Structures are given as C-alpha cells and as structure tokens.
Structure 1
Amino acid sequence: MPRLRLRHVLRGALAALVPFALLGASGGPAHAEWPGAAPVVSRVETTDPVVFITIDDGWFHDPAAARLLLDRRVPASLFLLPGAYSYDSGYFHRLLDHGRVRIENHTVGHPDLTTLDAAGQRAEVCGARDAHLAEFGDGPRLLRPPYGVYDATTRTTARACGAKAVVTWTYDLTTWGQWTPPTPELKAGDIILLHFNETLEQDLERALALADAAGLTPAPLREYVPE
C-alpha cells in the first residue's frame, strides 16, 4: 500500500476511535457514575447547646416510653427495622403524628453489612428505605448500620439509597440485662444511642437528665446533618 494512502487509513481509524475515547473519559451513558460516599457522623460539630437522642430497632413497644417521648416533646431519631413495626405500626404512627420523631434507616434484617457484597448491602438499605416510605410516607435520610459497623461499600450504598450520612453514636446509654451503662459528661453535638427494649423509659429518663445537667437540649438530628 502506498505510504500516503496508509497514512490516510491510519488517520481515519484514529478519528473513528476518538468519540469512543471521549465518551469513556466524560462518563457517558455507558459509564454512569456511582454516587459519592456518605459521610460518617458519630457526633455533630456544633456550638449550639444540643444533644441528639437516637433509638434503635423497634421490637419492644413500651407505652410508658412513648408517653415520655410525647409528653416531653423529645425530638428523637428512630432507626427502625421494618419487621419491628409490621405487627404494630400504630405505635410509631402515633409518635410521628403527635410527637417530634423521625423514622430513619437501620436496614431490613440487621446484618453486619461488611459481610455482604454491594448487591446485598443495597438490598438491605434500599429495601428498608422502601418499606419505611410505603408505611410512613417519609423516606429516611440517615442510615445507622447495625452494630455501628460499616465499610466503603456501606457509605456509597447509603448515598445511593437516599441517606445523607451514616450515623453511629457518641455514647450507648442502653441498659442491657444487669449491665448499667456509664454516666458520661455530655457535650454539645453528642449522639446518644438507646434501644426499644424493656428499659427504654428509664434509659430515656437518664439520658434527658444527663443532657439537662450539661445544659443541653435534645434536637432533631436530621436537621443538623448537612445534605
């Protein structure tokens, strides 16, 4: 093949490849970007004199704890499992309708998310989001991974499933059996973890007393976590 013709053939071949190279570099339709990682929040950086009450799981529906939340108008983030309200959703509807609580994401089945692949994590997190939205009409914006355990996949999955942050905690003030939690000196921005168990009323009373002693007021966590 004459040299001039060969040069034209090569130039044409390269020109044909350029659009495909640019498409890949620009993240075109064939390479849709995965959402960025959600931040991890164990306490909120704030100068406001506030503390955050969070309550996990939802299995034990204590009327006394509900009355305390309602009577004291406590803003609380409820990280619920769908199964925990499947047999008595009215308990949580009353808290939503008459109190200052928000329903947040705690997965479907409470697994250690780090033992699951990306598809498994997405099924757990997005599945809980869909269940909460269907039941309460409000999608969760915060994810608490079970046991406070997460990895890089959890953070990207959280964002993909609508959560703006992965939330752990500063202090766990849950009473478990004979074990009594410590009595910390709370500071502004601390996140308190409680659970819907048999001791929730007394645990909540203790948490509120500790906050009051520190000059802190419970505040809605979702409003303090930026988009």
Structure 2
Amino acid sequence: MWRSRAVVAALASLSLAFGAAGSAQAGVGLPPVVAHVPTSEKVVFLTIDDGWNHDPEAARILLERRVPVSLFLLPGAASYDVQYFTRLTQEGRASVENHTVGHPDLTTLDAAGKDAEVCGAGEQLGAAFGRTPKLLRPPYGAVNDDVRLAAKACGVKALVTWTHDFTTWGDVPPPTPRLAAGDIVLLHFTPTLAADLQRALDAARAAGLKPAALMPHLKSSGVI
C-alpha cells in the first residue's frame, strides 16, 4: 500500500519545493497551511505519516533518544496495534495528529466527504488516544480553501505539509538535503523507517539543529 503512493508523494514534494504550499498561508478565518515554521531557534520538526508498519527499531530510537515527533496517523493503520503508538505518546515525546480516515485527495471530495474523512479521523483518534488532534496532514499535500474550511469545521488549527521528504520510496534512499531551522521533515511508517529516521537525525545534527515539538513552536511563532 505504501509503495503505491510513491509517485504522488514525490510530485507533492516537488510542488512544495516550488512554494505551492507556502510557509504559512493565512487566509481570512481559515487555518494556515504550514510547510516550514518561521523560527530563529535551531530546531527541526520530525513528522511520521500513516502507521501501517510498526517497526520496533524505529520505536526504540524515538523512545531511547526522547525524540519529539508528530505522528499523523490513519485510524485503521493504528488500530490493530494501538499499544505501539500509546507507548510512544506515554513513554516518549510523540503526539498523535490527524491524517484522515482513508487517505484520499481531499480536494476531490464534496463537503460531506471532507467532513467524514477529517472529523471522522479526529473522533476515532481522540477515542483511541484520549486527545483530539488539532493538526491535519492532508494526504499527498493536496490543499485548497475548501479543504481548509472543512478542517476548520473539524477543529483543526493548522494543516501541516512538509519541507523535505526523507522517506525511501524505492530501493535507494533519496538524496539527503541540508536542513534549515524550522524545516518540517516527512517520514512514513514503512519498513525503512528506522533507517530514514536515522538519516533525518544525522542531517539535523550536521546542520546544528535539534528535533523539537511542532505544536508549541507553531504557537510561539504566531502561526496559530
């Protein structure tokens, strides 16, 4: 399933690189879309999507190193082993956020479909983890004002895309970019997560940056 998204994810990364989802698009009354956090602090933000592959080595890295991370989960992917994720939130520094119910391109859905995907995922994740997510990662990074409006109706404070995708979608890892303060790193719960996570941590260290919790910095930077 995760490999079938490789082409779409790669195209989304290219569009973001050319500014399609700016750092913080602040429309009147709508939650912003954030691909980079404006901050002078030497921090980077790690995010992990979906939840299909529950790799114990990736969990070990996150727990032993106390890495702050945002988990944008699909309820179905998390539900068959909720304990894997509750351990990360209770013993580590992970927070669970919204990635919709079924991973559709939200821009293709009508209002009822958007509501079912975003509000539905928020309700299911809230029931499973005791906290209703306030951040949404729109699948494929596909966003328009209708999606932002639906997200607002579901209590979402910001839609989070990404600056760099570190996921190994094929047999060879992608080139490692030089990270900058405020960058948002995208990873996925795939069989290569542990190695991809280590590359991201190494890249952060090489740039003199430390992983930080996303939500507090969105607030302190005035994004939300």
For the aligned pair, the TM-score class normalised by the smaller chain equals: 0.7 to 0.9
Question: CA shift at 1:57, angstroms?
Answer: 0.1
Instruction: Report 1:36-115 matches (<5 A).
Output: 36-115=29-108
By how many angstroms is 1:179 displaced?
A: 3.6
Task: Report whether the alignment pairs 1:171 with 2:179.
Answer: no
SS in 2 for 1:46: coil
Output the amino acid matched with 2:73: L
Using structure 2 for the length normalisation, give the TM-score: 0.84
Q: Distance in 2 between matches of 1:158 and 1:225?
A: 17
Displacement of 1:172:
0.2
TM-score, scaled to structure 1: 0.83
Show CA shifts across 1:121-175 (max 9, x none): 0110000000011000011111000001111111111111111111100000000
Aligned partner (choices 189, 195, 198) of residue 205 of structure 1: 198
**CA positional deviation for 1:120:** 0.8
Amino acid at match of 1:132: L
- Counterpart of 1:109, as a letter, is G
Rounded to whole Å, the distance in 1 between the matches of 2:153 and 2:120 is: 12
Q: What letter matches 2:161 in structure 1?
A: T
Q: CA deviation at 1:85?
A: 1.3
Q: Pairwise CA RMSD of aligned residues?
A: 1.0
Distance in 2 separating the partners of 1:114 and 1:179: 31
For 2:121, the equivalent position in structure 1 comes to: 128
Which deviates more from structure 2 when the two are superposed, residues 171-180 or residues 212-221? 171-180
The number of residue pairs the alignment matches comes to: 193
- Does 1:192 find its partner at 2:185? yes
Cα deviation, residue 119, structure 1: 1.4
2:133 to 131, 140, 151: 140
Q: Secondary structure at the match of 2:69?
A: strand
Corresponding residue to 2:111 among 115, 118, 138 = 118
User: In structure 1, what residue type is equivalent to 2:177?
Assistant: P
Match of 2:214 in 1: 221
Q: Distance in 2 between matches of 1:224 and 1:118?
A: 31
Query: What amino acid sits opposite 1:63 in the alignment?
Result: P
Structure 1: state its 5+ residue gaps. 1-34
State the Cα deviation string for residues 6-27 of structure 1 (Å, max 9, x = none).
xxxxxxxxxxxxxxxxxxxxxx
| 1:19-30 correspondence to structure 2 within 5 Å | none
2:146 aligns with 153
Taking every aligned residue pair, what percent have the same amino acid on both sides?
A: 63
Q: Distance in 2 between matches of 1:37 and 1:176?
A: 33
What is the rounded CA distance, in whole Å, between the counterparts of 2:35 and 2:181 in structure 1?
Answer: 12
Find the residue that maps to 2:77 and give its secondary structure: helix
How far does residue 53 in structure 1 lie from its aligned partner after superposition? 0.1
Question: Is the partner of 2:52 in helix, strand or coil?
Answer: coil
Structure 2: gaps of 5 or more residues = 1-27
